[in-house]
Each structure stands twice: as C-alpha cells, then as structure tokens.
Amino acid sequence: MQTVRLSSKNQMVLPKESREAMHLKGRDELLVIVKGEVTVIMPKPAQYSSALSGIGKGMYREDYLKKERKAW
C-alpha cells in the first residue's frame, strides 16, 4: 500500500508505481470519486460511453428483464 501526503498548497504526487499501473503521463486528467469514507482516483476516460459499456453485465438473472417488460 502506498501513501501520499497533501502539500500546504493542497497538491499531491502520485507514486511512480501508481502512475505506471494506470498508464498515466503528464497532463492526463483524473476522476476523483468520493463515496462516504472511500475515495477512488482513476484516469478520466476518453469516452464515457465506451468506458461504461457492459458495466452492468451479469448484474441481473437471465430472465429478469423479460419478467420486468411483461409487468409493464
């Protein structure tokens, strides 16, 4: 586990191992997502549609959508 210290100017430096794992280079943009006490830092995708495509796959049983559509 790596730690990062916030400077007096509220800046931080990501460790080299983290930058390499996320394939980051200078001037890349990052997303910071805060959920309660958990903060996620990830590279900003070039296109959100391709980054989110298939994210819900396997979330529902195979027949779930058919039953929901019939209920409408």
- DSSP letters for 40-62: EEEEPPS-HHHHHTTTTTTSS-T
| Domains recognised in the chain with CATH numbers | 12-47 (2.10.260)
Q: pLDDT digits over 29-57, tens only?
A: 999 989 899 998 989 988 888 878 887 78
Please determine, for residue 72, whether its predicted confidence score (pLDDT) is greater than 80. yes
The answer to whether the CB of 29 falls within 8 A of the CB of 44 is yes
Q: How far is CA 50 from the centre of its chain?
A: 13
* Amino acid in position 65: L
Residue 50 has a pLDDT of: 81
Contacts for 68 with CB less than 8 Å, ≥ 6 apart: none
Strand partners of residue 31:
42
- What value does the mean pLDDT of the chain take? 89
* pTM > 0.85: yes or no: no
